[in-house]
Amino acid sequence: MRIILLGPAGSGKGTQGEMIERHYGFPRISTGDLLRLEVEKDTALGKIVKKIMEAGELVADDIVLEIVRSRIAQPDCKRGYVLDGFPRTLNQAILLEKVDGSRPEIAIEIQVSEEALKQRLAGRLVCLQCGTVYNINNNKLSQCQACGARLTVRNDDRPEVVSQRFRIYRETIGPLIEYYSKKGVLFRIDGEKTPEEVFREVKSVIDSRLN
Ligand code: AP5
């Protein structure tokens, strides 16, 4: 099973991806987290993508595909996996199909208004060590409760970069929705409820396909 989470910046892909991973044991693969790790470690790849990510632009398809391809080849992905932030363009969806096309799949679009998204992103804190996401509106924390590392504000959560990320999402999502809709695997979910309520809907979609 392959579960693809679609949605704009801040819609809760990471939050729901973690909940799916905990409940079903499918590993969450976040291209954003994997790229941020490269930047944090200051690798050759990290140096290439740092400026692109800080500007809220998309990293080149071949770079992101290579990251995903090598991650899904790991043994823990054999049963299935959750993709958070990939594919993001029609081309990425077609490339994914070429490297691992044989699985049943579900694409879940999490829908949230831009007004609500701006508020969420203004309060987001992340753990760069393990990727756990928090919100200062819910938790007044400075350390990650999962691994103890320091929490930080993401570089691309500045309002001007957030607007750019919304713009790119609006420009790229249409063909992706059409692609998964034509395949008959697209589900839309209201992402403005609490994370637990959203997860109940996500779970009912996944269960309907697993059974
Ligand atoms: P990426 O890290 O994937 O960022 P994104 O898609 O913009 O999504 P976010 O991580 O910002 O939000 P989210 O939907 O995961 O929400 P979250 O759960 O954190 O990508 C970053 C960059 O990497 C891109 O801009 C690009 O440069 C590059 N990149 C990555 N993938 C790429 C690709 N495939 N191709 C090319 N480039 C790529 O939640 C947000 C906040 O809201 C949190 O504080 C959370 O606690 C809170 N929250 C979550 N759910 C709820 C809820 N139901 N109610 C209230 N609050 C909630």
For all residues of the chain together, what is the average pLDDT? 94
Top mutation candidate among 91, 96, 135, 169 for ligand 1, by most atoms within 8 Å of CB: 135
Top mutation candidate among 36, 58, 89 for ligand 1, by most atoms within 8 Å of CB: 58
User: 57-73 pLDDT, tens per residue?
Assistant: 999 999 999 999 999 99
User: Which of 141, 109, 147 lies closest to 123, judged by CA?
Assistant: 141
Residue 174: enclosing H or E segment and its boundaries?
A: helix 159-182
Low-confidence ranges of the chain (pLDDT < 70): none
List the catalytic residues: 13, 88, 124, 154, 165
Omega before 87 within 30 of 0, i.e. cis: yes
142 φ, ψ to 5°?
A: -120, -15
Residue 29: enclosing H or E segment and its boundaries?
A: strand 28-30
Q: What is the pTM of this model?
A: 0.95
Which residues' Cβ are closer than 6 Å to ligand 1? 7, 9-15, 31-32, 35, 52-53, 56-59, 64, 85-86, 88, 92, 120, 123-124, 133-135, 156, 165, 191, 194-195, 198
Pairwise CA distance, residues 37 & 24, whole Å: 25
Residue 98: enclosing H or E segment and its boundaries?
A: helix 90-100
* Cα–ligand 1 centroid distance for 85 (angstroms): 7
Indicate the pairing of strand 133-135 with strand 28-30: unpaired
pLDDT at 132: 85
**Atom of ligand 1 at shortest range from CA of 18:** 18
Contacts of 170 (CB under 8 A, 6+ apart): none
Percent of the chain having pLDDT more than 70? 100
CA dihedral over 62, 72, 186, 164, signed as positive or negative: negative
User: 120-162 pLDDT, tens per residue?
Assistant: 999 999 887 887 889 887 777 889 999 999 998 998 999 999 9
* CATH architecture of the domain formed by 2-120+158-210: 3-Layer(aba) Sandwich (3.40)
Are the beta carbons of 5 and 17 closer than 8 angstroms?
yes
Are the beta carbons of 89 and 173 closer than 8 angstroms?
no
pLDDT at 114: 94
